[in-house]
Homo-oligomer: A and B are copies of this chain.
Amino acid sequence: MKANQNQFSPRKVPQQERALFTVESILTAARTIIQQKGYEAATTNHIADVAGVSIGSLYQYFPSKEAIVAALVEDAVLRAGERTRKFLIERMNVSLETGVREIIQHLLEIRREYGLIFRRLAREVPRFRNISGQLTTEKYLYNTVHTFYLQHREEILVEDLEMAMFVIEHLVVGAIDAYLDNDAPRLDDEELVQQVSNAVIKYLTK
C-alpha cells in the first residue's frame, strides 16, 4: 500500500528528462534552504528562485508547499533507509556488542547528515512528525534490526523483544539528537557511541 497517494502526491509524474531535472532542482533548493536557514525561510518563491525555476513551474510539479516538504522527507527517509538496510545486512554475522556499537555509530552519521531534515522539519512543523516518524521506524529500522536481534536472541535476556526495540530506538535516537542539538559539553562522537552502546548492551544482556 503506497502511502503518499493523496494530498501530498506530486501533481504529475515527470516523464521527460527536463521535467525530472526541474523536480530535482526544486527539492535540492528546498533542502538547502531548510538546512541552512530553517523552515520559515523556505518560502515557495525563494525555493523557486534558488532552484532557478519560475514559481509557475514549481506549482506545476508540486500542488503545495507541503508537498515539497513531504517529498523531501520521503526522499531522505528512503535514502537513509536504504543505506541503513545495506549497512545492517553487512553486519548480520557480527557479535551483538560490535553490531550495536556500529549501528549506533552509523545512526549518528546518518542523523548528522540527513538529520537536519528529520530534526528541523519534525520539530518545527508538527504535521511532518508523523510522516517522518512512521517512515523512520517502519521502513528502515524495524524489519532489519529485528532480524539482527533475532540472530542474537539467546544472548538477550529481555522477554518482550519488540517492546525493548521500541525503548532502545528512542533511547538511542533521543540521546543522539540531543548530542547533535546541544553543542555537547564534554563528549565527542567516540565517547557518545561508546556510552550509548554500553547502555544498550547492558539493558539487553544483564
Residue A107 at the B interface, CB < 8 A?
no
Q: When each residue 180-195 of chain A gets 1 if its CB lies under 8 Å from chain B and 0 otherwise, what string results?
A: 0110111100011001
Q: Which of chain B's residues have a CB closer than 8 A to the CB of A133?
A: 181-182
- Cα of A163 to Cα of B199 in the assembled complex, Å: 13
A166 touches B181 (CB 8 A): no
For window 154-206 of A, CB contacts with B under 8 Å fall at: 160, 162-164, 166-167, 169-171, 173-175, 177-179, 181-182, 184-187, 191-192, 195-196, 198-200, 202-203, 206
Q: Which of chain B's residues have a CB closer than 8 A to the CB of A202?
A: 199, 202-203, 206
A163 touches B187 (CB 8 A): yes
Q: Which of chain B's residues have a CB closer than 8 A to the CB of A124?
A: 123-126
B203 touches A199 (CB 8 A): yes
* Contact (A191, B163) CB under 8 Å given A177-B174, A182-B133, A199-B171: yes
Q: Which of chain B's residues have a CB closer than 8 A to the CB of A187?
A: 163, 166-167
Please give me the residue from chain B that is nearest to A124 by CB atom.
Answer: B124
Q: How many copies does the complex hold?
A: 4
Contacting residue for A178 out of B126, B162, B174, B185, CB 8 A: B174
- Cα of A185 to Cα of B169 in the assembled complex, Å: 13
Residue A63 at the B interface, CB < 8 A?
no
Binding site for B on A (CB under 8 A): 38, 40, 120, 122-126, 129, 133, 160, 162-164, 166-167, 169-171, 173-175, 177-179, 181-182, 184-187, 191-192, 195-196, 198-200, 202-203, 206
- Cα of A173 to Cα of B171 in the assembled complex, Å: 8
- Cα of A123 to Cα of B123 in the assembled complex, Å: 4
Contacting residue for A203 out of B129, B162, B173, B203, CB 8 A: B203
